[in-house]
Amino acid sequence: MDWGLRNRLSRIVRPESGRTVMLAVDHGYFQGPTTGLEDPAGTVRSLLPYADSLMATRGLVRMSVEPSVGIPIVLRVSGGTSILKELSDEVITTSMEDAIRLNASAVAVSVFVGGEHERETLGNLARTVDEGERYGMPVLAVTAVGREMSRDARYLGLACRIAAELGAHLVKTYYCEDFRRVVDGCMVPVVIAGGKKIPERDALQLAYNAVRDGATGVDMGRNIFQSESPVAMIKAVRAVVKDGKTVEEAYRLVEQEKAVAPPTKD
């Protein structure tokens, strides 16, 4: 692995802790104006101080993040489908040249193992890794799971390992029972998505279990920006992932914040 690629990777997974809290706000690329991201600039501004990196599309980055902020960007470069169509029918939507122009620290590509367009999405990943290696750009593979597929260790282990075999430098997947098997079989660091919004304590438990079972961190979106107290929630996630706090200790941060500033009702 060359110097530039390792340098970029270390902006995402900080060497001091070997862990990472990535903030995912790329949902609009197939969902449109996702709840909590209607005004991405506002949402992102308050959360960035507590994130190690931001996962987003180039459109969101350009319009919602000041270049002077300095947050490492994990640029989503696959997409081209919407919730109205077959989601696995993705193409590469952003060139490596543009990723470099945006000073991205990594690029992200989804793979749909077992999906209708499995081969094309794995091809997207492999080609992006080839280009990434040429320019020193790490590639995060996102194991997207079709509705009809079960999120168990057998399936996720298969998807993660294939992503690593094709050269992904980091893999994003879902937490599941027997998660250690997924991590152990993957060869490269694994981060977890939060998935659909669940109660805050449960999301903290998910993050806790994931790092306990070998994850390098989280790449979490909805469970942070759809929380009643997004800033408290990202601080709490960080406390679990990076500071070794228990779920109860971290959840107290969320409760304290809610007590000081209860959510406003329209």
Positions annotated as catalytic residues are 172
- Closest approach of ligand 5RP to the CB of residue 27, in Å: 4
- Shorter beta-carbon distance to ligand 5RP: residue 7 or 31: 31
Residues touching ligand 5RP, count (CB under 6 A): 15
By CB under 6 A, name the one of 5, 13, 23, 24 that touches ligand 5RP. Answer: 24
**133: number of CA atoms within 13 Å, CB side?**
10
- Out of 146, 195, 249, 252, the only residue in the binding site for ligand 5RP (CB under 6 A) is 195
Asked if 169 is part of the footprint of ligand 5RP (rule: CB under 6 A), the reply reads no
Among residues 194, 215, 232, 253, the one that binds ligand 5RP under rule CB under 6 A? 194
Q: In this structure, what are the phi and psi dihedrals at residue 92, rounded to the nearest 5 degrees?
A: -85, 125
Report if residue 214 touches ligand 5RP, rule: CB under 6 A: no
Decide if residue 90 touches ligand 5RP (CB under 6 A).
no
40 lies in the site for ligand 5RP, by CB under 6 A: no
Q: How far is the CB of 193 from ligand 5RP (least distance, A)?
A: 4
Of 9, 142, 241, 254, the one binding ligand 5RP (CB under 6 A) is 142
Residue 110 touching ligand 5RP (CB under 6 A): yes
- Which residue's CB atom is positioned nearest to ligand 5RP? 221
Among 71, 221, 227, 245, binds ligand 5RP (CB under 6 A): 221
Q: Is 207 in the site for ligand 5RP (CB under 6 A)?
A: no
**Contact residues: ligand 5RP, CB under 6 A:** 24, 26-27, 55, 110, 142, 144, 193-195, 219-223
